[in-house]
Amino acid sequence: MKKRILWLILLAAGVAGVWAVLATSTTLAAGRAQKATPSDDEVNAIARQLYCPVCENIPLDVCPTQACAQWRALIREKLAAGWTEQQIKDYFVEQYGVRVLNEPPHQGWNWLIYVLPAFFLIGGAILLFRLFRSWKPPVPDAQSQETLQSEPPTGADEYLKRFEEEADKRK
């Protein structure tokens, strides 16, 4: 009787082990199947960072040409083969040049693209500050204040005379 129980336990352990191996391999196969077909979102995430080499200034993910459809299919194949995003971008740069990137690399003269807007913004703010500061009305000195108070303006005298004449006529 003890032998039968021992054999049943060994048989149950063997069945459980085989079941575990099959379940793991099925999960791995399903994972590989998912990796083999990248989603449209994954493809478009990379295609959005590339411009169509044929059309001017149109991102690869929205370009309607047949060539762009083929390039998106190529991106899908590269992703399925296990290529990284940077490897795919490097491949397209190697094939079509730096102009296919939607963001120029941070090297060489390209760094000016990132620095010059800030430089012009700060320079413009300083220029406007100095310009607004120079627009303040000049402060009159004491001598010109005395002259203004002692002499009435000539235009005001003529207006006052005409007003008094009209007022006298009405009486």
Interval 31-54 mean pLDDT: 78
* pLDDT of the residue at 126: 94
**Is the pLDDT higher at 87 or at 107?**
87
How far is it, in rounded angstroms, from Cα 149 to Cα 146? 5
Highest mean pLDDT among 21-25, 41-45, 121-125: 121-125
Interval 20-32 mean pLDDT: 56
pLDDT at 114 over 80: no
* pLDDT of the residue at 151: 59
pLDDT tier at 115 (50, 70, 90 boundaries)? Answer: confident
Whole-angstrom CA distances from 143 to 120, 140, 150, 154, 155 are: 44, 8, 11, 19, 22
Q: Tell me the average pLDDT of the chain.
A: 78
The reported pTM is: 0.47
SS3 143: helix
